C-alpha cells in the first residue's frame, strides 16, 4: 500500500501588506527586500483570525477536494510553531471545528520543515494499515511572533495555511522516498525568544547546502535521476536559496514553484500553499514526479519524492 495526496486545500488572509507599506513604518525599501529575498508582499492575519481559524479553512477545502467526509478522517496532524495557545493543540481544535470525531490528533513542531515531518508521519500510519485517511495541515500566524521593529526579520514572514488529505494510492503513485533530519547544534541560529531571532548568514549557508543535498538524496533513494523531476516545490523562504536548489537539480525556471513573492515565508504552511497553487494552475499533472524540500529552525530539514495522482 502506497500513501499519497488525495485532496488539497489552502487559506491565506485577505489583508495584503506590500513592501511599500513596510517602507512607511521601518527603515527599509522595496528594492532592498526584493533583491535579498524575492518577497514583494505578504498576507497578515487580523488579531481576531488566529492559527486555528486559518487551519480549519484549509482543512475543510482539502477534505472536500478528497471527496471524503470529516468522519472519514482517522488522524489529524498539524505542523505549526504558532499555536493559539500551548494546549489544547491546534489539531484537537480542528477536530472539533470540522467534525472529525473519529480522528486522533496531535501537533508537530519542526518549524518550516514541519509539513514534511507531518506527511512522513502520515505515510507510516497509512502504509502500516493502521489508518486510511489522515489530514495533514501546515499553518502559521508568524505575524504574532514577529518583531515589527526588526527590519531583518519583519520583512520576511507572512501568515497562512495549507492542508492535504493523505490516503492509499495506486502502487506507482504517492510518496516514493523521503529524508528527514535535524542538527540541534544549529538551534542558536534560528529561534523564538519573545520574537523570531535569526542569524541570517548562518541559516542561509545551511539552507543552500541542505536543500540541494536533500533533493538529490530522495531521488537516489527512489532510484531516480534529476532528469526524472517534473516539478520542484521548495520551502518559500528566500528566492536565492530556492534558486540554489533548482540549479542543483538542473531544472528550468518554469519547473520550480515560486510563491514567495506573494506570501513571503509562511513556515510550515509554505510548501502546501505552493503545491496547492501549482496544482490548481494545472502546472502539476497526474503522473508528475514532484520533489518537495524544506528546512527550518531546530535546525530541521525534510524532503519527499512524490508521484502525483491517486
Give yes or no for a contact between 134 and 95, defined as CB atoms under 8 angstroms apart.
no
Residue 1: its pLDDT value, please?
87
Going by pLDDT thresholds of 50, 70 and 90, the confidence category of residue 201 is very high
CATH number of 2-169: 3.40.47.10
Q: Which CATH class is domain 174-257+270-307?
A: alpha beta
Q: What percent of the chain has pLDDT over 90?
A: 99
DSSP classification of residue 150: -
Sheet holding 134-141, edge to edge: 2-11, 159-169, 134-141, 75-79, 104-108
179 contacts: CB under 8 Å, gap ≥ 6? 214, 217, 218, 221, 301, 302, 303
Residue 261, pLDDT > 90, answer yes
Q: Residue range 8-27: average pLDDT?
A: 96
pLDDT digits (tens, 9 = 90+) for 88-127: 999 999 999 999 999 999 999 999 999 999 999 999 999 9
Residue 207: its pLDDT value, please?
96
Indicate the average pLDDT of the chain: 97
Give the active site residue among 112, 133, 217, 238: 112
Q: Do domains 2-169 and 174-257+270-307 have the same CATH topology?
A: yes
Residue 294: its pLDDT value, please?
97
Going by pLDDT thresholds of 50, 70 and 90, the confidence category of residue 51 is very high
Give the active site residue among 133, 189, 235, 238: 235
Residue 198, pLDDT > 90, answer yes
- Residue 265 a catalytic site member: yes
Task: Name which of 303, 272, 265, 290 is nearest 141 in CA terms.
Answer: 265
Give yes or no for a contact between 267 and 111, defined as CB atoms under 8 angstroms apart.
yes
Going by pLDDT thresholds of 50, 70 and 90, the confidence category of residue 147 is very high
Residue 246: its pLDDT value, please?
97
Q: Residue range 150-166: average pLDDT?
A: 96
- Give the containing element (helix H, strand E) for 32: helix 30-37
Residue 170: its pLDDT value, please?
96
Residue 213, pLDDT > 90, answer yes
* Residue at grid coordinates 505575524: 143
* Domain extent listing, the chain: 2-169, 174-257+270-307
Residue 66, pLDDT > 90, answer yes
- Helix then strand count (H, E) for the chain reads 10, 13
pLDDT digits (tens, 9 = 90+) for 215-248: 999 999 999 999 999 999 999 999 999 999 999 9
Amino acid at each position: 500500500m502506497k500513501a499519497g495526496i488525495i485532496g488539497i486545500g489552502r487559506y491565506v488572509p485577505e489583508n495584503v501588506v506590500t513592501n511599500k507599506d513596510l517602507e512607511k513604518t521601518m527603515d527599509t525599501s522595496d528594492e532592498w527586500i526584493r533583491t535579498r529575498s524575492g518577497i514583494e508582499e505578504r498576507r497578515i492575519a487580523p488579531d481576531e483570525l488566529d492559527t486555528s481559524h486559518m487551519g480549519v479553512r484549509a482543512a475543510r477545502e482539502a477534505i472536500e477536494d478528497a471527496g471524503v467526509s470529516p468522519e472519514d478522517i482517522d488522524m489529524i496532524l498539524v505542523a505549526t510553531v504558532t499555536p493559539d495557545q500551548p494546549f489544547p493543540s491546534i489539531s484537537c481544535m480542528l477536530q472539533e471545528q470540522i467534525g472529525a470525531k473519529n480522528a486522533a490528533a496531535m501537533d508537530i513542531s519542526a518549524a518550516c520543515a514541519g509539513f514534511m515531518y507531518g506527511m512522513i508521519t502520515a505515510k507510516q500510519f497509512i502504509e502500516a494499515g493502521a489508518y486510511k485517511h489522515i489530514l495533514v495541515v501546515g499553518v502559521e500566524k508568524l505575524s504574532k511572533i514577529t518583531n515589527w521593529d526588526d527590519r531583518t526579520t519583519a520583512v520576511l514572514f507572512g501568515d497562512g495555511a495549507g492542508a492535504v488529505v493523505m490516503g492509499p494510492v495506486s502502487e506507482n503513485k504517492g510518496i516514493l522516498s523521503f529524508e528527514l533530519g535535524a542538527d540541534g547544534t544549529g538551534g542558536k541560529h534560528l529561534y523564538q525568544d519573545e520574537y523570531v531571532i535569526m542569524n541570517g548568514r548562518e541559516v542561509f549557508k545551511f539552507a543552500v547546502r541542505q536543500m540541494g543535498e536533500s533533493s538529490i538524496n530522495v531521488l537516489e533513494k527512489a532510484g531516480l535521476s534529476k532528469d526524472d523531476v517534473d516539478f520542484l516545490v521548495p520551502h518559500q523562504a528566500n528566492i536565492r536559496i530556492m534558486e540554489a536548489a533548482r540549479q542543483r537539480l538542473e531544472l528550468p525556471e518554469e519547473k520550480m514553484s515560486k510563491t514567495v513573492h506573494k506570501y513571503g515565508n509562511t513556515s510550515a504552511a509554505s510548501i502546501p500553499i505552493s503545491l496547492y497553487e501549482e496544482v490548481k494552475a494545472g502546472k502539476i499533472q497526474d503522473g508528475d514526479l514532484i520533489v518537495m524540500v524544506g528546512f527550518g529552525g531546530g535546525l530541521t530539514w525534510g524532503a519527499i519524492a512524490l508521484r502525483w495522482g491517486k
